[in-house]
Amino acid sequence: MTPPPLLEVEDLRVEYLTATGRVRVVDDVSFTVRRGEIVGLAGESGSGKTTIALAILRLLKAPAAITGGRVLFEGRDLLGLGEAELRRVRGRKISLVTQSAMSALNPVITIGEQLVDAIEEHEGVSRRRGLERARRLLELVGLDGARVASYPHELSGGMRQRVVIAMALALEPPLIVMDEPTTALDVVVQRELLGEIARLRDQRGFSILFITHDLSLMLELCTRIGVLYAGRLAEAAPARQLAAAPRHPYTRGLLGCFPELHGAATRLVGIGGTPPDPRHPPPGCRFHPRCGHSLPACHVSAPPRTVVGPDHEVACHLLP
């Protein structure tokens, strides 16, 4: 019995409305996040990962705009909400952890105040009570509670990212969108933090939409994974399935990029070429110029989504 969906993104389309025309950066992407799940979105830079994260919270700035699709959260379409309703969703229902630990915190006010701001805004508690909660939140993510009085520049990168995670947890939202939460950190701290995130998730039972370019990281952490290429979903599958039997040539290419820690030395196979310019995407399947198996059909039409197994979808002409 699968748990009910918490977040359903349906045919989401995001375009940059520029003077010279529309540039589509997210093209009819659909996926769901169920309660308690960690769903990963993988892709190279420019594949539209961050844009999707911001689109879900309706934080896109002009000239980027959502031009199609639905974002259902607990059955309600977030794209139809007014500013005031949106503010009640942000932070309390869905929170965000951004990419760079260095610039994610306001440098001129203490981290305690930044934590209290969110609590005060949503729950109207006094600053003193809020500060007490901020202290407990910091302890929850493995920091000293006395750190509420610290300024961001007094913390290391790893500590700052813990603060950002504490901030995302502050109102116990059912869903946290994490956009490259560990990318700016060194590998050891990255490990620690991932362990921390997994522990908190087990403890609190929230869902995570985990966005990164690091597929190996994702395979460890996520229940299901979507692979993005040039704004389209190439393949979506349960993590184990994706690792064991990837069907899309792009996914296979990505998985071929990791060195094996144990086992025989193998030659790493990269993916030739570079991602397409979103202003001039190739016709047909966007991956075909870099694909070693492209068919005549790939040059002409975009491949349809094909269901190849439970929760496993692939958009590729190679599939029957």
Binding residues (CB under 8 A) for other proteins: these are 54, 57, 59, 62, 83, 86-92, 95-96, 98-100, 103-110, 117-118, 121-122, 151, 153-154, 164, 167, 170
29 vs 57, which CB is nearer to other proteins? 57
Query: Shortest Cβ distance from residue 167 to other proteins (Å)?
Result: 7
The minimum distance between CB 99 and other proteins, in angstroms, equals: 7
Q: How far is the CB of 107 from other proteins (least distance, A)?
A: 6
Nearer to other proteins, 159 or 225 (CB): 159
Least distance in Å: CB of 112 to other proteins? 13
Cβ atoms of residues 166 and 197 within 8 Å: no
Q: Is the peptide bond before 63 cis (omega within 30 degrees of 0)?
A: yes
Instruction: Considering the complex, state which of residue 113 and residue 235 has its C-beta at the smaller distance from other proteins.
Output: 113
- Supply the DSSP symbol for 304: P
Helix, strand, coil shares of the chain, percent, nearest 5, are 35, 25, 40
In sequence order, which residues have a C-beta less than 8 Å from that of residue 265 and are 6 or more positions away?
none
Q: How far apart are CA 115 and CA 45, in angstroms?
A: 30
| Complex with other proteins: residue 16 or 229, whichever CB lies closer | 16
The amino acid that residue 127 corresponds to is R
**At its nearest, how many Å lie between other proteins and the CB of residue 271?**
29
Pick from 37, 43, 24, 45: nearest CA to 227? 43
Task: Measure the CA–CA gap between 273 and 120, rounded to whole angstroms.
Answer: 50
Least CB distance from residue 31 to other proteins, whole Å?
Answer: 20
Which residue bears the tokens 């199609």? 68
- Cβ proximity to other proteins: between 2 and 18 the closer is 18
How many Cα atoms occupy the beta-carbon half-sphere of 125 within 13 Å?
16
Q: Choose between 82 and 259: whose C-beta lies nearer to other proteins.
A: 82
Amino acid 139 reads E
